[in-house]
Amino acid sequence: MGLFTPHIRLRSLFSAVDLLILLSLFAFIYGLVSVGREWSGTLQPVVEIDLSPTALPRYTLFSLFRGFAAYGISLAFTLVYGYIAAYVPKADRVLVPLLDILQSIPVLGFLPGLVLTLIAVFPHSNFGLELASVLMVFTGQVWNMTFSFYNSLKTIPSELRDVASLYRFGWWRRFTKLELPYAAIGLVWNSMMSMAGGWFFLTVSEAFVLGTHDFRLPGIGAYMSVAISQGNVPAMISAIVAMTAMIVAVDQLFWRPIVAWAQKFKFEEIESEIVPHSPILDLLQRSQLLAFLREQIVAPLVAMISRRIHSSYSTSFLERLERRMAPRSTQKVLMLLLLVTILFIVGYVALRFFLLVSQLNIQDWLRLFVQAALTFLRVAVAVMLGSLWTIPAGVAIGLNPKISRFLQPVIQVIASFPAPMLFPLVIMALGAAGISIEFGAIVLMLLGTQWYILFNVIAGAMSIPSELRDVSMLFRFPKWRQWKTVILPGIFPALVTGWVTATGGAWNASIVAEYVQYGGKTLIAHGLGSTISTATEQSHFALLAASIALMSVVVVGFNRLVWKRLFRVAEEKFSLNG
């Protein structure tokens, strides 16, 4: 019998689900090979975009890879940056304002430097241009995730930290057993929103004009950009269908399983009666092949790595790092040298900036201030209008898994769909209603920014412990009192995060909402966003630098005066600390 045991185990290892998993793995490898060929191909001055429907599957694959490559970089950045900002003493005084500044810089603000630098580094292949496109998508994804993770770390209940200290968790065990699980739900929902934010600028990151250079990368964003510029309605419809199919597939095969899996990290003492589930996750959990790999390979490997890390860094990572550093006197000298170097670099950049913007006269600056005020008003109105419906809708979805199960895929598809692809239809509707682009730009901003609030409210509502809601129902609180004592305090930290990222998203969206090209026509609304778009297209770097700097100052100033205070209120009054 012993001779037949391996054969029997091998046969029992495979099922129809395992076959599908193997086929998916082969398809994934084939896709990577295709993408690798594109990235290593010869850089061409002008890439002709094929508008035939048969080219869309290949273009969709390339765009999908860029989106997930950017998401992988964003996730790594989020975990490292958010952790350091939350725990390194006084680091948040520098890193959080820096995050505000980086979030306030629109995608087009990164474009010239990224493209010119990476093309110079990789002059003979597509790698530089492809990497620049990925990093531009990254700038549309990462800030929302980082703010969410940082806020989650700052609002971990003190009793959970006390338990971790009582059991002498090292930094790695505390990170994997407490901090990352506690932040999981918010991070998952903000990751979904961040992917949507990346798709929002898909047409910009795959097809853009920089002076006399017209850069294009084969992808669904470039396909739609060319179709819009040519007024090719059948091609636009084909792109919308392909984009919708890709988003639905990503939602069903990737996000819904992760949302269902993340529910086990919900902070509550009484398990909810109804929890989100995913048929795909159920299939994966029934896979005998994955179970075998998990038990025999993955689990032992993870356990070994965890033991090594735990034994090597049983004390705090920061404390160990401090012990390994040089003596105090040497540290002070090194810190002084580092400070001098940073000041030199900042001073040099500031000098170059002032020399550049000195080309502008007083009238140019006055015009920029007026345009900044107009864009600020549009951003404020867009965020307020978005809040009016996203707060009640997000609470209803987050507190009711039945509704979430039905609406979450629909919302994910709608939110992930790049709003600029719909701009021609919206512009036509606004024109038919007699609304100019000056007011219509608010609607265009709203299409992209409202989802930041909705997804954060959903995550906040889902994180409310069910026992709190049970107590409010047990004491028969009226609806208004439930909102006042349970719901609004429970979602407030996530809501503030949503407002911050929605505001930053609206400022970013202004570059495409105030400057719309369709069918050979260009519609321009007076504002800072349209100025940045015009300056980028004309390579007017002095005006571009001044516009980006002014936008950053406005966004960071508002964050310091308003959002920082609300974050402090959320941390001190509305976290689940005992």
The domain ranges of the chain are 40-286+360-573, 325-358
289 pLDDT higher than 80: no
The pLDDT assigned to 485 comes to 74
Query: Which residues is 521 bridged to in the sheet?
Result: 518
The pLDDT assigned to 380 comes to 93
| Residue whose pair of structure tokens reads 């820096």 in the numeric block | 98
The pLDDT assigned to 252 comes to 84
Could you read off the pLDDT of 275-284 as tens digits, one per residue?
666 777 777 7
Helices (H) and strands (E) in the chain, counts: 28, 4
Q: Which residue has the higher pLDDT, 308 or 39?
A: 39
Q: Which residue has the higher pLDDT, 286 or 533?
A: 533
Domain covering 40-286+360-573: architecture: Orthogonal Bundle (1.10)
The three-class DSSP label of residue 524 is strand
329 pLDDT higher than 90: no
Percentage of the chain beyond pLDDT 70 is 85
Among 29-38, 310-319, 351-360, which range has the highest average pLDDT? Answer: 351-360
The pLDDT assigned to 26 comes to 80
Do 452 and 194 contact (CB within 8 A), yes or no?
A: no
Q: Which residue has the higher pLDDT, 231 or 377?
A: 377
Question: Which has the closest alpha carbon to 193: 140, 155, 243, 151?
Answer: 140
Question: Which has the closest alpha carbon to 497: 78, 175, 107?
Answer: 78
Of 120-124, 328-332, 538-542, the poorest mean pLDDT is in 328-332
Which residues, 6+ apart, have CB-to-CB distance to 438 below 8 Å?
Answer: 525, 526
386 pLDDT higher than 50: yes
DSSP assigned state of 49: P
What is the pLDDT averaged over residues 318-327?
52
The pLDDT assigned to 275 comes to 60
557 pLDDT higher than 90: no
Among 23-37, 182-196, 281-295, which range has the highest average pLDDT? Answer: 182-196
109 pLDDT higher than 50: yes
What is the pLDDT averaged over residues 26-33?
80
What is the pLDDT averaged over residues 161-165?
82
Q: Which residue has the higher pLDDT, 444 or 39?
A: 444
Taking the CB of residue 47, how many other CB atoms lie within 10 A of it? 18
Question: Tokens for 339?
Answer: 């400070």
